Structure 1
Amino acid sequence: MITITYRKDNETLSHPWQITDPLPEGLFWMDMIAPTLEEHLAVEKRLTIEIPSKTEVWKNNVLNRLYVEEDIAYMTASLISKADSPYPKTSAVTFILGKQFMLTVHDITPTSFKNFSARLLRPHEKFHTSAHLLTGLFEEIVNRVAFNSELVVSSLDEVSHDVFGVNVLDKRVKKSSQFLKSAIKKLGAAADLNSQISDSLHSINRLLVFLKQVASTEATTAAAIELAISDTQALKAQCAFLSDKITFLLDATLGLINVEQNVIIKIFSVVAVFFLPPTMVSSIYGMNFQHMPELSWVGGYPMALGIMALCAIIPYIYFRKKGWL
């Protein structure tokens, strides 16, 4: 699918474009979403430029994301999609910047692109150059990354309340361990999203620094790029902080699980201590020796029961005074 955005009679228009249609005058942005080979070749011919294929985009994403060829800047960044789903992912998005137009190629549909398209249709929203246009798009991209980072913050706040809440390890709550199991799952999801945000910010920051070098001839554009770079650096610092917080909460959660397991083991240990002395007494009187005077004594049975009770009560009193129970 290809969407074009252009100016006509002081009005910004945007609509899908077919390869058989002519290109309108005033075209300044062409957005290619999962283009077919036929669309790929047609756009190359119409704009007289080379568009990297998926294989080349992947190779450039690994080796060289940013380069200039015949006065055309080719840039690739990793953007996040489905951030609010259980399985967010990053995908390479290519930005091709000419003197009069901007071309974007991607397989995902980032929310920031939708927001920027709607922003362009506003009456007073104007971008004087293609570089200024790309800077405006990255303003939306960075804003969306900040929104995704807030999702991580909200998730960690929720986990923090679960881990350090009043119900955790409360004897009156039978299912307190469920809070901790749920917390580990949430921490795993938050760590995954935060890691992808960090990778995306790294690629965006590199792209903006490159864009500043090749396209910031206008003061307004240069200032906007500088502001976007500052925002990405601030978000990278926040990602580092959130990563530390995830580690802290994970350690705390595992520690509480260990405490809960120790409480269970302690219960079995206490029960064993209470019943071990009486068991020893009962074992003594269960021996089948011929000469055991207590066996023929009328008060032998009550005496044995009394000794067994004392053997359980005395350790209990002793442990209570020591504070071990």
Structure 2
Amino acid sequence: MLFAYRTEGQNLSRNSPEAPLSDALWIDVFQPSQNEVDALKELGIPVPSREDMEEIEVSNRLYREGDTEVLTVVLPGQDAQERQTVGPVAFILSETRLVTVRHHAPRPFQTFPTHAGQSSTGCRSVRHVFLGLIEEIVARLADHLEGVGHTLDKESHGLFLEPAPRSVALAGVLRAMGRQGEQIARLRQGLVTVERALSTFSVNLEGHGTIDLKQVSKAQLRDVQSLSVHSDFLSGRLAQLTDVAMGMINLEQSSASRILSVVATMFLPPTLVASVYGMNFSNLPGLDHPQGYLIASVLMIASAVGSLLLFKWMKWL
């Protein structure tokens, strides 16, 4: 699927399917078909395969081919089944147009075209559009991190301020913490790859003499670095809450085990009395006493109550 955009005033406008690709300033390719790849090759734009985009080596993600610069980042988004995932996105910058190649659906690629003219860079040229799109991506990553922070606030309130949750609720807290940990990992990966791409873009920008773009690029690098620090803070907070939840589970299990042990111990004296009078010997004292059963029952009840009072006095219950 291919979407082509051109500059119209201060905004981006989508081209009609019949319009030639050569008129587009930005071409967004989603899960490209072979025909679309061939059409881009006719414009002199090399389209990396998904395997090349998924390679972790810098030489496969950040490189130049003649006057064309290829920058690949890893961003969170949705797959075809609308499940959260991460995937590579390639930014191909030539002198005349920007081409993005992706195989999943990050949200910024849907929202950026509608307000591209409102970005800090505008959409006057290829590099302006690229930095505007990166700005949208960074803002989206920041929103995700803020959402993780709100979730941790909610779980923290449930752990520390409300009555102590039961083990079933704590298991739900651990699952929530696990989901947020995965989210932070995806966002951290996206921030690292965006930072690398911006650094490479800034170096290659030196020969163009565009001071405003250099300043914007440096500002975005600082934003990405501050978000990386914030993600590390959230990771530490997540680890703390996970430890607290695990500690509460261990305390609850220890308390249950202690109660069971005390209750079992409380019935040891009555069991001893019953065992003594249950021995099969004919000369047991009091065996023929008319009130023997009553006496043995009283002894068993008294020993159990005495053990219970002792355990309460020792604060074991």
State the TM-score, normalized to the length of structure 1: 0.88
**Structure 2: gaps spanning 5 or more residues:** none
Partner Cα distance (2:231, 2:82) in 1: 19
Q: Could you tell me how far 1:165 is from its partner in structure 2?
A: 4.8
SS of the residue corresponding to residue 293 of structure 1 reads coil
| Corresponding position of 2:198 | 208
SS of the residue corresponding to residue 95 of structure 2 reads coil
Partner Cα distance (1:127, 1:35) in 2: 24
The answer to whether the 8 A contact 1:168-1:179 is kept is no
Partner Cα distance (1:42, 1:64) in 2: 22
Q: Could you tell me how far 1:315 is from its partner in structure 2?
A: 2.1
Q: Deviations over 1:67-95 (max 9, x none)?
A: 12212111100011039x99521111010
| Corresponding position of 1:33 | 30
Q: CA RMSD in A?
A: 2.5
| Corresponding position of 2:179 | 189
Q: Deviations over 1:256-287 (max 9, x none)?
A: 11111122212211211211101101111111
| Corresponding position of 2:131 | 135
Q: Could you tell me how far 1:101 is from its partner in structure 2?
A: 1.7
Summarize the alignment of residues 43-62 of structure 1 with structure 2, pairs less than 5 Å apart.
43-45=40-42, 47-59=43-55
Count of equivalent residues? 314
Quickly say closer, same or farther: Cα 1:71–1:316, change in 2 above 3 A: same
| Corresponding position of 1:173 | none
% of aligned pairs identical? 29
**Structure 1: gaps spanning 5 or more residues:** 170-175
The answer to whether the 8 A contact 1:4-1:15 is kept is yes
Q: Could you tell me how far 1:143 is from its partner in structure 2?
A: 0.3
SS of the residue corresponding to residue 142 of structure 2 reads helix
Q: Could you tell me how far 1:126 is from its partner in structure 2?
A: 3.5
2:147 matches 1:151:
yes
Partner Cα distance (1:286, 1:40) in 2: 91
SS of the residue corresponding to residue 296 of structure 1 reads coil
Q: Could you tell me how far 1:201 is from its partner in structure 2?
A: 0.7
2:242 matches 1:245:
no
Partner Cα distance (1:231, 1:165) in 2: 33
Q: Deviations over 1:165-223 (max 9, x none)?
A: 53435xxxxxx222111111111111111111111111000001111111253121111
Quickly say closer, same or farther: Cα 1:113–1:86, change in 2 above 3 A: closer
Q: Could you tell me how far 1:57 is from its partner in structure 2?
A: 2.5
Quickly say closer, same or farther: Cα 1:288–1:86, change in 2 above 3 A: farther
| Corresponding position of 1:218 | 210
Q: State the AA in 2 paired with 1:224.
A: V
SS of the residue corresponding to residue 25 of structure 2 reads strand
Partner Cα distance (1:181, 1:9) in 2: 55
Summarize the alignment of residues 53-72 of structure 1 with structure 2, pairs less than 5 Å apart.
53-59=49-55, 63-72=59-68
